[in-house]
Amino acid sequence: MITMKDIVRESHPSLTRSAAVVEVPLSKDDKQLLEDMMQFLKNSQDEEIAEKYELRAGVGIAAPQLGIEKQIIAIHFEDIDGKLYSMGLVNPKIISHSVEQSYLSSGEGCLSVDRPVEGYVPRHARITIKATDINDQPVKLRLKGYPAIVFQHEIDHINGIMFFDRINTEDPFNIPENSSPIQ
Ligand code: ZN
C-alpha cells in the first residue's frame, strides 16, 4: 500500500518534468498503480486508517508524486452538493477551458508540499477534459467549481507544474483577473 514515505516532496525532479504518455490498453502494472493510488486516497480520508499509517488526507494524486513520470492521476472526493468524483485516469488533457477564472479562497495544498503556502492559485473556472479510464475507455468530462480545480492541480503535476508556481510572487493574494472565489 502507498504511504507518505512513497510520496516525493517538492524539488524532486519528477515534480518538475513532463510525464510520459501511457500506452493504451493499460498494462497490468499501470492498472495496479491506478488502483493503488485510488486506495491511497480512500485510506487517507478514512480517519482510523489515516491515523494508523500517518497519512495526510488527499483528494487527488498524480504518478509523478510517487516518482513515476507517467501521465496517471487519481481523484476521490465529494463535491459540496454530495456528488462523488472517484476515478483514475491516464493521459488526461484539458481540451478547452473558459476565459473566466476561479480560485480556492483557502488556497491550495499538496501531498508533496509539507509547508503551508499562502496565496491564490488562478485556475480556469470551467474545463473540458479528455482522458482514458482504468477500463481503457475514453472519457470526456466537463467540470466547474471545486472539481475543476482539483483536476487542474493534478494535471499540472503531469506537466511538471506545482500549485505555487501559479501564485503571484509579488502579491500572493492578488485576485485573479475575471475570477470568482470558490469556498
Ligand atoms: Zn499536488
| 143-182 core/surface letters (b: 16 or more CB in 10 A; e: else) | bbbbbbbbbbbbbbbbebbbbbebbeeeeeeeebeebeeb
Task: Rounding to the nearest 10 degrees, give the CA dihedral for residues 174, 176, 181, 183.
Answer: -60
Radius of gyration of the chain (CA): 16
For 106-115, how does the pLDDT look when each residue is reduced to its tens digit (9 = 90+)? 999 999 999 9
Q: Are 35 and 134 in contact (CB under 8 A)?
A: yes
Q: How far is the CA of 43 from the centre of ligand 1 (A)?
A: 17
Residue 119 neighbours by CB under 8 Å, 6+ apart: 107, 164, 167, 168, 172, 173
Domain 4-182 belongs in CATH node 3.90.45.10: yes
Q: Report the first-to-last Cα separation within the chain, whole angstroms.
A: 32
Q: How far is the CA of 99 from the centre of ligand 1 (A)?
A: 23
For 147-182, how does the pLDDT look when each residue is reduced to its tens digit (9 = 90+)? 999 999 999 999 999 999 999 999 999 999 999 999
For 42-90, how does the pLDDT look when each residue is reduced to its tens digit (9 = 90+)? 999 999 999 999 999 999 999 999 999 999 999 999 999 999 999 999 9
What is the residue type of 161? Answer: I
Q: How far is the CA of 102 from the centre of ligand 1 (A)?
A: 18
Arithmetic mean of pLDDT, 3-14 = 97
Q: How far is the CA of 138 from the centre of ligand 1 (A)?
A: 24
Q: Active-site residue 118, yes or no?
A: no
CA-nearest of 152, 41, 143 to 87 is 41
Q: How far is the CA of 65 from the centre of ligand 1 (A)?
A: 8
Q: Which of 35, 48, 154, 177 is catalytic?
A: 154
- Sequence spans of domains, the chain: 4-182
State what percent of residues in the chain have pLDDT above 90: 99
CA-nearest of 155, 17, 152 to 73 is 155
* Cell numbers given for 105: 479562497
